[in-house]
Structure 1
Amino acid sequence: MLEYCEGMGSKSTTRRADALRSIEAIEQAAAECLGRNPDASLSEIARAAGVGRVTLYAHFTSRAEVVDAAMSRAIDRGNEALDAVDLTGDPLLALARYVEAGWHLVDQARALLVAAQKELSAGRIRELHSGPVARVETLVARGRAEGVFRTDLPIAWLVNVLHTIMHSAAEEIRAGRLTSDRAADHITATVLAAFTPPGKPVPEPGGAA
């Protein structure tokens, strides 16, 4: 009886490991496929993951769940990259560094974000972005305390403006009105103008980079 139970436990552990490998493969394939084409089908994602549609649906009941998992994966990896950004020292310089790093992440995930906007609610997208938002809120609060950033508007509004500008840059690139290599400079200049206290001169983007 003990040997039978041990055998059942071993099989159960193997099944769980196989399931985790399948889920990981599907999430990675979804991030890659949707990162190239926001309309990529679940069949394409399953093929790229090396699994069948039945296996995919065993772990994800809808396209929205697949997109959610892919977006979560991308944001987790983005948070790891943003953790390496130095946000100490002069708030203007820290902001410019954040914009540079953050924009590259948005640029890489442009198509995936389009898929997320089609499948997920605005509330869920905000929830997924809570990590990056909290990081910038801390920076903006410090900049306000040091008299560098404006205090007449809520911190949440200023952070939303920053991320909205980043996403708008992605839209401009898709429309062919902006190139990726110029986007960070445009974003930094616009954000500095939005964050500067009324009546104070707007810092030159080059001086903050």
Structure 2
Amino acid sequence: MPTPHQKVRRADAERSIATIVAAALDCFVRDPHVSMTAVATAAGVSRVTLYAHFPSREALLDAVLAHSVEQADAVLQGRHLDEGPADEAFSRLVRSSWRILERHAFLLSASEGVITPARRRKHHEKVLVRVERILARGQEEGVFRSDLPMSWLVTTFYSLLHAAAAEAGARRLKAKDVPDVLDRTLSSLLRKPATEA
């Protein structure tokens, strides 16, 4: 059992980590290539303290990514995605997910070549469970297709959302048009084919 002194030290460490992650999030918004030194300064800690908690840029980005996905999941939780017809809930999910991703698009640039695609996908599992739940409900309601593997349908959602962020970043899509484009694209792909029994 931890001693009172150990509990205090652990609480101090947790506060320090939370401060660093919050500062890093702000820093990465302004500059995806911000230095670790600048993050330490923004957090009000020494480089030694920063590296004690996050020994590499990858470790820091990993923590920031985890934090941003937790925030995203909390937002989606408030969207009542388990209520109403599944296709309407899915549209709300698509539009909410885009707004969240648009605010955190800087993380795609910052983590490129640092966090592996597989690791990025792993961070999103909690959110993707929500996607799968709506799709399964839509299949039960007879509005979403069931002729393709569920894992593929979820991957299609994830991949198209990130492709839209890349297209908007390259200015091949206007950011204001993306929610409608995504909603129409995904809805048409997921709609139950007329030939499906």
Tell whether the structures are fold-level matches, with TM greater than 0.5: yes
Deviation at 1:114, TM superposition (A): 2.4
Looking at structure 1, the residues matched to 6 and 152 of structure 2 have their Cα atoms a distance apart, in angstroms, of 49
Q: Tell me how large the CA RMSD over aligned residues is.
A: 1.6
Tell me which of 23, 40, 47 is aligned to 1:46: 40
Tell me which of 153, 175, 194 is aligned to 2:189: 194
Moved more, 169-178 or 110-119: 110-119
Deviation at 1:35, TM superposition (A): 2.5
Deviation at 1:72, TM superposition (A): 0.5
In the alignment, which residue of structure 2 is the partner of 1:35? 29
Deviation at 1:10, TM superposition (A): 5.5
Secondary structure of the 2:80 match is: coil
Structure 1 runs not aligned, ≥5 long: 1-8, 201-209
In the alignment, which residue of structure 2 is the partner of 1:173? 168
Looking at structure 1, the residues matched to 154 and 30 of structure 2 have their Cα atoms a distance apart, in angstroms, of 28
Dislocated runs of 4+, deviation >6 Å = none
Is the Cα contact below 8 Å between 1:71 and 1:113 reproduced in 2? no
Query: Where do residues 132-147 of structure 1 align in structure 2 (5 Å cutoff)?
Result: 132-147=127-142
Query: Where do residues 1-209 of structure 1 align in structure 2 (5 Å cutoff)?
Result: 11-87=5-81, 88-199=83-194
Deviation at 1:13, TM superposition (A): 4.1
Deviation at 1:135, TM superposition (A): 0.6
Deviation at 1:149, TM superposition (A): 0.7
Looking at structure 1, the residues matched to 133 and 112 of structure 2 have their Cα atoms a distance apart, in angstroms, of 26
Alignment coverage as a number of residue pairs: 192
TM-score (norm 2): 0.91
Deviation at 1:14, TM superposition (A): 3.9
Is the Cα contact below 8 Å between 1:86 and 1:97 reproduced in 2? no
The residue type equivalent to 2:46 in the other structure is G
Give 1 or 2 for the bigger CA radius of gyration. 1
Looking at structure 2, the residues matched to 160 and 117 of structure 1 have their Cα atoms a distance apart, in angstroms, of 19
Structure 2 runs not aligned, ≥5 long: none
Over 3 Å counting, the alpha-carbon distance change for 1:141 and 1:12 in structure 2 is closer
Moved more, 20-29 or 182-191: 20-29
Looking at structure 2, the residues matched to 37 and 162 of structure 1 have their Cα atoms a distance apart, in angstroms, of 28
Secondary structure of the 1:86 match is: coil
Deviation at 1:198, TM superposition (A): 2.4
Deviation at 1:66, TM superposition (A): 0.1
Percent identical across equivalent pairs? 38
Deviations 1:149-190 (A, max 9, x none): 111111111111112111111111111122222110010011
In the alignment, which residue of structure 2 is the partner of 1:6? none
